[in-house]
Amino acid sequence: MLAIRRSYDRILEVIAALLMAALTVIIVLGFVFRAVGLSLVWYDEVASIGLCWLTYYGSALAALRGAHIGFPGIVNAFPPGLRVLSTIFAEAVVLAFFVILTVTGLEVLDILQGSTMVSIPSVSLVITQSVIPITAVLFIIAELLRFPEVLAAARGAGFEDHELKEALDTVSDAAPASGGTAR
């Protein structure tokens, strides 16, 4: 399972990096062409769609890594049994949300049949908006791959508070080394 998770992480990471690179190229091209007085008609629409795609795919990657906002301190305060139940409930709610988003996203794609981008009429809105159901499924996969780790943490000592750990690491890195002389 760990090998599958690592491979999935790598795939999402590559997709996010490619989208970031493509978006960077589009923005630079838009800037250069505008600077020389030859504005690209499609620039704004394509850049905004690219940013949405990057956000959705990057969020799926963040879900796999457990990097979304959470409340580990509150959950850790629960007794172990309640911690497990609340974790299972939270995962069920998240999965239900993304199942609903997948179904609704597919319905939206059906509604958009025949609609095209304004600046590039040869590109269907079905393509541009397909990011919603696709990444909803990617979120579901990410949550399912991460679930064993989350459940183990709930059964064990609790969840690590990444923000608190990062803050403490920053403070300890900034503190002067002990044993030195003050001036």
pLDDT of residue 162: 61
Please report whether residue 177 resides in a domain.
no
What local confidence, expressed as pLDDT, does residue 178 receive? 55
Residue 125 lies in a domain: yes
Q: Which residues contact 175 (CB under 8 A, 6 or more apart)?
A: none
Instruction: Note the pLDDT tens digit of each residue in 99-148.
Output: 999 999 999 999 999 999 999 999 999 999 999 999 999 999 999 999 99
Does the residue 172 lie in any domain?
no
Q: Per the domain annotation, does 175 fall within a domain?
A: no
Domain, as residue range, for 69 = 2-159
Question: What pairs with residue 116 in β-bridges?
Answer: 124
Return the pLDDT at 134: 97
Q: How far apart are CA 143 and CA 138, in angstroms?
A: 9
* The two three-digit tokens of residue 94, written as one number: 């998240």
E strand or H helix at 102: helix 80-111
Spatial distance between the Cα atoms of 69 and 71, rounded to a whole number of angstroms: 7
80 belongs to a structural domain: yes
CB 75 within 8 A of CB 86: yes
- Decide if 141 is inside a domain: yes
Quickly list DSSP for 103-141. Answer: HHHHHHHHHTTT-B-SS-TTSBHHHHHTHHHHHHHHHHH
Condensed to tens digits (0 to 9), the pLDDT of residues 42-87 reads: 999 999 999 999 999 999 999 999 888 777 778 888 888 898 999 9
| Radius of gyration of the chain, Cα coordinates, nearest whole angstrom | 22
Number of domains the chain is built from: 1
165 is a domain residue: no
DSSP 67: -
Rounded (10°) CA dihedral 110, 26, 52, 129: 0
Note whether residue 176 is domain-resident: no
The single residue listed with the structure tokens 């503190």 is: 175
Instruction: Give the separation between CA 74 and CA 78, rounded to whole angstroms.
Output: 7
